[in-house]
């Protein structure tokens, strides 16, 4: 079971008339983490007000009058539920019997049934089906023994089993945000006369760029001018060493003139790929540390989930192409593979968020076995970055759309760069780097070449139920990523297959005008020509994406549509050839009337398994 939610809590030294507004803005920024229900709890002049319901931030904020709330402190939550119906009662915040304590939570409390039975026997009344509701009642229970709010909170936390990021507020100490973390991420924002606690930098950044990332098993409280943190065992933490300045720019979080984040983030690729590459070239220490670990590796295992797994597949193929032993593994499947991993091997953990629980658990298991870990992340403050032996920061800017686009291309670029550094063939590296420096122009040109076709093709695909994406060798991971994109944003069943393998079964489904999309990368043109012919012979609707100089007459003859793409080297194609598919998925989703930024049942960061 897994659940991913967004948390924001604010406390201010002065009473704020605009507190409700602040919450609406912060919750909108968090909505990409979960969008089943939304709620806030505000403390104002010794009263606790709760407003929550199912729906989007905009609709709930309007119907429940969020912007009318004033006060000095509050907590807010966006929920993404996979277990139990998203109802008003199950929405966060949850309260105790006296309605003086409110709690928001991300994660799973495994022992909630036994805690609930205990609390029921003590006369507590529950109104939701959630595990979270035990927390305010536990705090209430311990407060009734004479403890202050923080001591009662700490005691409640010590009774929980599972994973959690929890923030609580109590009217008796209205400027104190009580927090605790185990696995699920939580950060504290330190402002002037203002403190925040959130699951995400995105909601803190408008207020401050100074944050503290909580570690596992840490608890504490934040007041407008003071933060206190200790371990659950009671060892105080020196805050001065933990405050870090973040270099994200708030404008990167806005949609700007675009209709959706997805298209904004696709268009941003020429810029952010340059950022990734210049970051790799200028951060020599960061790269060298990773290369030093990788160069002594017997086998390099690349682990990732979703798009990060597809980047890992591409990375592993490229490492092998360069002569290194490498294998990609899906994070959630990694544990059995890790049994045969030896201490001489190295793991590359690929995760844009740096928080994906499946990847984190696989990485921790590897480290427990004495294996070193290099991480590739887009958040240097993330758990995966902080726990790895070395990490590379992708510098892709914040990615808000649930579907990964620019972070995928950056991941691929980082992996190719690592491969080149491992090769230690200076001349070859320089030649390839010269082509990679052209990525902004090539990417822009790819977007131009593919945009019109994507719009037109989207019209055809929008009425289809199924589509195949086929490619050989490097073309296969790109196809897998293409299939994932159209599945998650346009809800069309899509399957990626190695093109040569398609005749061993999948071709049975191909009938009149069945869409089959080929991606050609690299040197195997003749073989893929045969695969294209096979599909055409079954009357498929064939679309072929191919490098400009590789569109042969056989491909032309057997494809209903050929999209010629610029390429400067194999490496530039590996980074950019997914972009036409990102555009196709985007326009198909729009054509079908879906919001690609908020695919149903999905969340941006899956922090609980
Ligand atoms: O943050 P991560 O890169 O670890 O996330 C991994 C997957 O959850 C992610 O790639 C997911 O598959 C995206 N929705 C793909 O678009």
Residue with tokens 């592993």: 316
Is 602 inside a domain boundary? no
275 and 409, same structural domain? yes
In tens, the pLDDT along 151-197 reads 999 999 999 999 899 999 999 999 999 999 998 889 999 999 999 99
Q: Which two tokens stand for residue 8?
A: 């924001």
Is 180 inside a domain boundary? yes
Residue with tokens 């406390």: 11
Is 120 inside a domain boundary? yes
Is 143 inside a domain boundary? yes
What does R_g of the chain's alpha carbons equal in angstroms? 25
Ligand 1 atom at shortest distance from the alpha carbon of 306: 12
Q: Which two tokens stand for residue 29?
A: 């920024």
72 in catalytic set: no
Cα three-residue angle 115-118-119, rounded to 5 degrees: 85
Q: How far apart are CA 357 and CA 605, in angstroms?
A: 9
Contact 382, 244 (CB under 8 A): no
Is 601 inside a domain boundary? no
488 and 453, same structural domain? yes
Q: Per-residue confidence at 4, pLDDT binned at 50, 70, 90?
A: low
Distance (Å) from CA 353 to ligand 1 centroid: 8
Ligand 1 atom at shortest distance from the alpha carbon of 356: 4
Residue 402 near ligand 1, beta carbon < 6 Å: yes
**Three-class HEC string of 436-477:** HCCHHHHHHHHHHHHHHHHHHHHHHHCCCCEEEEEECCCHHH
Distance (Å) from CA 378 to ligand 1 centroid: 12
Q: What is the mean pLDDT of the chain?
A: 93
Tally of CB atoms within 10 A around 561: 14
The residue to mutate among 334, 391, 404, having the most atoms of ligand 1 within 8 angstroms of its beta carbon, is 404
Residue 356 near ligand 1, beta carbon < 6 Å: yes
Residues 6+ apart with CB under 8 A from 116: 126, 133, 134
Identify the residue with better confidence: 603 or 210: 210
- Boundary residue ending a domain (252, 273, 289): 252
Residue 403 near ligand 1, beta carbon < 6 Å: yes
Residue 405 near ligand 1, beta carbon < 6 Å: no
Under DSSP, the state recorded for 93 is P
> Range with the lowest mean pLDDT among 29-43, 364-378, 525-539?
29-43
Q: How far apart are CA 603 and CA 401, in angstroms?
A: 10
- Specify the pLDDT at position 185: 87
Farthest-apart Cα atoms in the chain, separation: 84
Q: Which of 154, 176, 550, 604 is catalytic?
A: 604
414 and 296, same structural domain? yes
pLDDT surpassing 80 at residue 551: yes
Q: Which of 5, 52, 100, 176 is catalytic?
A: 5
Residue 606 near ligand 1, beta carbon < 6 Å: yes
Ligand 1 atom at shortest distance from the alpha carbon of 485: 16
> Range with the lowest mean pLDDT among 218-222, 390-394, 502-506?
502-506
Atom 6 (ligand 1): residue with closest C-alpha? 305
Residue 293 near ligand 1, beta carbon < 6 Å: no
Q: How far apart are CA 590 and CA 588, in angstroms?
A: 5
Ligand 1 atom at shortest distance from the alpha carbon of 402: 14
Number of domains in the chain: 3
Exposure of 601 by Cβ count < 10 A (0-12 exposed, 13-18 middle, 19+ buried)?
exposed
Report, in this order, helix, strand and coil percent for the chain, each rounded to 5. 45, 25, 35
Residue 328 near ligand 1, beta carbon < 6 Å: no
Atom 1 (ligand 1): residue with closest C-alpha? 353
190 and 76, same structural domain? yes
Residue 307 near ligand 1, beta carbon < 6 Å: yes
**Total residue count of the chain as it appears in this document:** 609
Ligand 1 atom at shortest distance from the alpha carbon of 403: 16
Q: How far apart are CA 351 and CA 19, in angstroms?
A: 34
Overall average pLDDT of the 542-566 stretch? 93
Using a pLDDT cut of 90, give the percent of the chain over it: 82
Structural domain including 551 reads 447-595
Overall average pLDDT of the 473-489 stretch? 97
- Specify the pLDDT at position 393: 95
357 and 284, same structural domain? yes
Distance (Å) from CA 186 to ligand 1 centroid: 19
Residues 6+ apart with CB under 8 A from 239: 212, 227, 228, 229
- Boundary residue ending a domain (393, 409, 437): 437
E strands, 246-311, in order: 300-304
166 and 259, same structural domain? no
Contact 90, 84 (CB under 8 A): yes
Distance (Å) from CA 156 to ligand 1 centroid: 33
5 in catalytic set: yes
222 and 80, same structural domain? yes
Is 442 inside a domain boundary? no
Return the sign of the alpha-carbon dihedral for residues 539, 543, 549, 550: negative
Contact 466, 492 (CB under 8 A): yes
Residue 305 near ligand 1, beta carbon < 6 Å: yes
393 and 272, same structural domain? yes
Residue 351 near ligand 1, beta carbon < 6 Å: yes
- Boundary residue ending a domain (252, 279, 299): 252
Residue 359 near ligand 1, beta carbon < 6 Å: yes
222 and 148, same structural domain? yes
Strand order in the sheet with 493-498: 493-498, 466-471, 515-519, 541-547, 561-565
466 and 362, same structural domain? no
- Specify the pLDDT at position 601: 79
Contact 9, 76 (CB under 8 A): yes
In tens, the pLDDT along 121-161 reads 999 999 999 999 999 999 999 999 999 999 999 999 999 99
Distance (Å) from CA 427 to ligand 1 centroid: 35
10: CATH: 3.60.20.10
Closest CA to 349 of 405, 394, 400: 394
Is 535 inside a domain boundary? yes
Q: Which two tokens stand for residue 327?
A: 């294998």
Ligand 1 atom at shortest distance from the alpha carbon of 602: 14
In tens, the pLDDT along 216-267 reads 999 999 999 999 999 999 999 999 889 988 877 666 777 888 999 999 999 9
Q: Per-residue confidence at 1, pLDDT binned at 50, 70, 90?
A: very low
Q: Per-residue confidence at 86, pLDDT binned at 50, 70, 90?
A: confident
Phi, psi of 258 (to 5 degrees): -85, 155
Residue-wise burial string across 543-559, b where 16 or more C-beta atoms lie within 10 A, e elsewhere: bbbbbeebbbebbeebb
399 and 282, same structural domain? yes
457 and 358, same structural domain? no
263: CATH: 3.40.50.10490
Is 346 inside a domain boundary? yes
Atom 2 (ligand 1): residue with closest C-alpha? 351
pLDDT surpassing 70 at residue 34: no
Distance (Å) from CA 305 to ligand 1 centroid: 6
């Amino acid at each position: 079971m897994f659940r991913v939610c967004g948390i924001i809590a604010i406390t201010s030294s002065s009473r704020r008339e605009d507190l409700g507004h602040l919450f609406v803005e912060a919750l909108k920024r968090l909505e990409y983490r979960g969008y089943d229900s939304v709620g806030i709890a505000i403390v104002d002049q010794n009263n606790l007000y709760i407003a929550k319901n199912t729906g989007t931030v905009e609709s709930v904020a309007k119907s429940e009058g969020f912007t009318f709330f004033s006060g000095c402190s509050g907590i807010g939550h966006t929920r993404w539920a996979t277990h139990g119906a998203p109802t008003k009662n199950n929405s966060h915040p949850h309260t105790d019997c006296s309605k003086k304590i409110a709690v928001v939570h991300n994660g799973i409390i495994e022992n909630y049934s036994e805690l609930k039975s205990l609390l029921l026997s003590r006369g507590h009344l529950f109104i939701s089906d959630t595990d979270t509701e035990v927390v305010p009642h536990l705090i209430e229970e311990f407060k009734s023994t004479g403890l202050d709010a923080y001591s009662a909170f700490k005691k409640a936390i010590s009774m929980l089993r599972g994973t959690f990021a929890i923030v609580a507020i109590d009217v008796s100490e209205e400027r104190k945000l009580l927090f605790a973390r185990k696995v699920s991420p939580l950060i504290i924002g330190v402002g002037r006369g203002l403190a925040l606690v959130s699951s995400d930098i995105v909601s803190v950044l408008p207020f401050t760029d100074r944050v503290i990332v909580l570690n596992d098993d840490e608890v504490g409280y934040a007041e407008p001018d003071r933060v206190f943190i200790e371990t659950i065992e009671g060892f105080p933490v020196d805050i001065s060493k933990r405050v870090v300045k973040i270099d994200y720019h708030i404008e990167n979080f806005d949609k700007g003139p675009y209709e959706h984040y997805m298209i904004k983030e696709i268009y941003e690729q020429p810029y952010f790929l340059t950022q990734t590459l210049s970051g790799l070239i200028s951060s020599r220490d960061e790269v060298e540390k990773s290369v030093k670990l990788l160069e002594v590796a017997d086998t390099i295992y690349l682990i990732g989930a979703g798009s990060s797994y597809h980047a890992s597949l591409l990375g592993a193929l490229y490492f092998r192409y360069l002569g290194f032993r490498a294998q990609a593994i899906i994070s959630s499947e990694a544990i059995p593979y890790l049994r045969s991993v030896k201490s001489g091997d190295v793991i590359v953990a690929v995760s844009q968020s740096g928080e994906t629980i499946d990847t984190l658990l696989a990485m921790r298991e590897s480290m427990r076995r004495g294996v070193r870990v290099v991480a590739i992340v887009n958040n240097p403050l993330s758990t995966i970055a902080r726990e790895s032996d070395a990490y590379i920061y992708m510098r892709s800017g914040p990615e808000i759309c649930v579907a990964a686009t620019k972070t995928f291309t950056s991941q691929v670029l980082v992996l190719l760069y690592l491969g080149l550094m491992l090769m230690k063939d200076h001349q070859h590296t320089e030649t390839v780097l010269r082509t990679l420096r052209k990525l902004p122009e090539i990417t822009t040109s790819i977007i131009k070449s593919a945009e019109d076709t994507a719009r037109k093709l989207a019209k055809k695909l929008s009425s289809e139920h199924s589509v195949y994406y086929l490619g050989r060798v490097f073309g296969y991971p790109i196809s897998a990523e293409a299939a994932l994109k159209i599945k998650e944003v346009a809800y069309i069943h899509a399957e990626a297959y190695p093109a040569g393998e398609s005749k061993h079964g999948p071709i049975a489904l191909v009938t009149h005008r069945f869409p089959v999309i080929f991606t050609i990368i690299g040197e195997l043109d003749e073989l893929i020509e045969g695969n294209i012919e096979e599909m055409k012979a079954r009357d498929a609707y064939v679309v072929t994406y191919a490098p400009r100089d590789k569109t042969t007459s056989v491909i032309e003859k057997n494809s209903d549509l050929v999209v010629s793409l610029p390429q400067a080297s194999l490496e530039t194609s590996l980074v950019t050839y997914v972009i036409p598919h990102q555009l196709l998925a985007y326009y198909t989703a729009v054509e079908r009337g879906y919001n690609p930024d908020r695919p149903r049942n999905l969340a941006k960061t899956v922090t609980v398994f």
